Amino acid sequence: MKFVSILLFLVFAILRLVGLINLPIFNDEAIYIDWGWRQTHLKDFMFYSLSDAKQPLMLWLFSLAQFVFSDSLWGARFISFLFGLGTIVGIYCIGKTFFDRRVALIAGFVYALTPIFFFFDRQALVESGVSFIGVWVCFFLLKIHKKNTIPDAIILGLLLGVGFYIKSSAALFFFPLFIFSLIRKISISRFLTIIGASQLVLIPLYLQPIFWQSLGLNSRYLALPSALLIRPIDFLEILFWQLTPLVFTGSVLGIYTLLKKRSSFTNTLLIYVAVPVLFTVFFAKDLIPRYLVSFLPLMSLVFAVGLTSMIKKTPILICVLSVVIISLLAVDLIQIYSPIAYFTSLNKATRFSGYSEYVTGWTSGYGVTEAISVVKKETGKSHSVIGVSLDAGNPQNAAFAYLSDDPLIEVTYFDRKLADPSIETADCIESSAPFFFMSRGSETGGMGKYLVLYKQFKKPLGKEFVGLYKLRADCMIPVL
């Protein structure tokens, strides 16, 4: 069993880190890495992301990783890997502590290999951080259910506070705790201890005026669904394909098994899993895998409980588990080595594939590093400038994310909204250093008349592209 435990964490680490940047930088990754750099390098920018109601903790960590790793994307994704590692350790601990080692190992392997968890643990996004918080809050909640100690309540509260530093949706983990206090599964004194510890952590956040000014922006992610019957269908479609049919089926059996037990302990676990998920299903403005993934890791535990309850004979259990592991591993390897094939195949099965966001749409990162490589090749060791519009995302924030610390290439905003009014009458402008403009498609920030298209870097299988422009060459007077 010890060997299998070691194998579990080796498999997790190797698969999460191999080909970590094969999938180009996603739109929101670019924003978070760029904002993280600004928050740790620019004066009075430490809580900059709060201006868009985005909590800063993960962004700080993404930026700090750049001090260790030369590739900013690899470093930021490594931070997500570390949170994912913490998540699988938490799942293993829950399984081992409250069930048995077999459940712990099966749950660990299922989490390690299930495509949706595999994918988001390899993205420089905040979802892996929220997953980590959710799993460990569950661990200490179950400990409180067994022993009801003050130290466990304090740690649980601290985790909840840290979770809110990562993403506002981590507040959903408060809801089941509130329910448990109402039905006396948690004493009022322990509940108040949890709340007090969480709020203590959040004091520095509360002291930022921008936090309160932007808090209302979170409402843009909330809405009453227009069709209550459609939302559950969409939810089941997401689970079926993102968890894979095998894990989905096993999870359903696990839920049935836990419900049959009718124990206070299993009810606590199911309520904790269900409340954040159901809130997201019915109140999230857009129901997509990314908004659900942080609340699903414990489904691997539910799967393990169901499988071990249904199959008592070890040889049969090993055979079934082998089929599950091999099928999941095959999907993960496609994700690593051929992400376009992965998204293309998934897109044929479900509307919630991420195909447009990660492959064909303007939010995908294809074309960004190709454009930067051309600039580096053409300018060599001389100083050059890349201009971008004020739009957020790809390729604008990606240019900053990759080049903020580059000694030879300066990235700057080149947008009509920032331009000196005196250039309005000019037909062209000139730069003393080689100047390139990186665009999202044909969008040039209102500066199109000064630019000429130099190269296009098309997204795979789509019409979108990253454009690389130069200044018109018929200028007589330097302006830049």
The predicted-structure confidence for 446-456, as pLDDT tens digits, reads as follows 999 999 999 99
> Is there a single domain that holds both residue 249 and residue 284?
yes
For 334-386, what is each residue's pLDDT tens digit? 999 999 999 999 999 999 999 999 999 999 999 999 999 999 999 988 999 99
> Is there a single domain that holds both residue 290 and residue 395?
no
> Is there a single domain that holds both residue 378 and residue 237?
no
Has residue 262 been placed in a domain? yes
Q: What is the percent of the chain with per-residue pLDDT over 70, rounded to a whole number?
A: 98
Query: How far is the C-alpha of 140 from the C-alpha of 145, rounded, in Å?
Result: 8
Has residue 360 been placed in a domain? no
> Is there a single domain that holds both residue 379 and residue 349?
no
> Is there a single domain that holds both residue 304 and residue 391?
no
Structural domain ending residue among the three candidates 353, 384, 418: 353
* Mean pLDDT value of segment 456-464: 92
Residue ranges making up the domain that contains 464 = 368-471
Has residue 477 been placed in a domain? no
Has residue 148 been placed in a domain? yes
Three-state DSSP string of 99-118: CCHHHHHHHHHHHHHCHHHH
> Is there a single domain that holds both residue 317 and residue 421?
no
Has residue 480 been placed in a domain? no
Has residue 48 been placed in a domain? yes
Query: How far is the C-alpha of 65 from the C-alpha of 49, rounded, in Å?
Result: 18
Confidence of residue 227 (pLDDT cuts 50, 70, 90): low
Between helix 396-403 and helix 27-41 the angle, nearest 10°, is 50
Q: Please report the pLDDT score of residue 230 as a whole number.
A: 76
Has residue 12 been placed in a domain? yes
> Is there a single domain that holds both residue 230 and residue 301?
yes
> Is there a single domain that holds both residue 268 and residue 233?
yes
Q: Which amino acid, residue 103?
A: V
> Is there a single domain that holds both residue 308 and residue 386?
no
Dihedral sign for Cα 98, 171, 202, 65, please: positive
Radius of gyration of the chain measured on its C-alpha atoms:
25
pTM of the model: 0.94
> Is there a single domain that holds both residue 86 and residue 210?
yes
> Is there a single domain that holds both residue 381 and residue 338?
no
Has residue 434 been placed in a domain? yes
Q: How many CA atoms, within 13 angstroms, populate the side-chain half-sphere of residue 159?
A: 25
> Is there a single domain that holds both residue 465 and residue 340?
no
> Could you give the number of structural domains in the chain?
2
Backbone angles phi, psi at 435, to 5 degrees: -125, 135
**Residue labelled with tokens 């789509």:** 462
